[in-house]
Structure 1
């Protein structure tokens, strides 16, 4: 969002927005349309759809998906709090809180735990700046 105007100035041909499933590409499309860019297309099904069609993919270092990380952390917290509640009965409320958070995440289609996990150094991709991307677009 913070660099949309810089990018829009250089998009005079069709643009295909790509993400894992198509959801974030849809959000980017909304933002870019709001900035006046209308030659946008979304890769249907995202990279998951691309792969399921048997099309080639070049991959970097493999990382666990955020969804899988959320399941691991949430499941571990629930399991440990339920087991720990044998000795400390109030720990069961941690499990209830995690369950409530997961329910809210499903209903709102947001995930606070996923957003927190995405900030870990392990989940950060290579850094880039808007100027270098725009420079590559105008070549």
Structure 2
């Protein structure tokens, strides 16, 4: 595998038994359904898990997945900077599910809205709050303008600052024990 490749869902399904799958979504997103055998290392914890990911890559090929392929592409780029070869799943878990492939959902796991849905809700709520508050204090409309500017910037750069902020909320953070267990499994 080269430094950063992409596998279509059909290719990944055919090779699933030989790949180490790393899901870089938040724990809530991961719990809502992930590829069979996937390990959850949220994108913002990738650097801390780098030694374990290097060890896993030494044993075989890595497949990095997220909801759409954007975060996994970022993760692959980060891994490539450290000399770790990894592939991303084209279209992410959304494409995987759309093709009817199985996903695992842990029993009793906490679930959260998908990050994209959380961003839409937060952005919409902030715009609405700015507009409502702007009826009494016109300067409050700047909140709506700021969110709109952020959304335009997000689209132009294919990044999302709001998602980075929302990922730090408690319901989107991995429990330390869960993350430690995942890192240990990848190391050994």
Q: Pick the TM interval, shorter chain.
A: 0.7 to 0.9
Partner of 2:148: 99
Aligned to 2:160: 111
Q: Measure, in 2, the Cα distance between the counterparts of 1:96 and 1:134.
A: 42
CA distance in 1, matches of 2:175, 2:118: 20
Q: Which has the higher contact order (CA 8 A, sep 6+)?
A: 2
Measure how far apart 1:50 and its partner are: 0.8
Mapped to 2, the partners of 1:30 and 1:84 lie a distance apart of 42
2:118 matched residue in structure 1: 69
Residue correspondence of structure 1 range 49-64 to structure 2 within 5 A: 49-59=95-105, 60-64=109-113
SS in 2 for 1:103: helix
Pairing partner for 1:44 from 90, 93, 108: 90
Aligned residues: 136
How far apart are 1:121 and its partner, in Å?
A: 0.6
Q: 1:87 to 1:53 in 2, by over 3 A?
A: same
CA distance in 2, matches of 1:111, 1:42: 19
Q: Which runs of 5+ in 2 are unaligned?
A: 1-46
Gaps of 5+ in 1: none
Q: What does residue 19 of structure 1 align with?
A: 66
Q: Structure 2-normalised TM-score?
A: 0.62
Q: Counting strand residues as a fraction of each chain, which structure ranks higher? A: 2
Q: Secondary structure at the match of 1:31?
A: helix
CA contact (8 A) 1:5 1:35 kept: no
CA distance in 2 between counterparts of 1:86 and 1:133 reads 50
**Runs of 4 or more consecutive aligned structure 1 residues displaced over 3 Å after TM superposition:** 132-135
1:6 deviates by: 4.0
Alignment check: 8 A CA contact 2:130 2:141 kept = yes
CA distance in 1, matches of 2:62, 2:147: 39
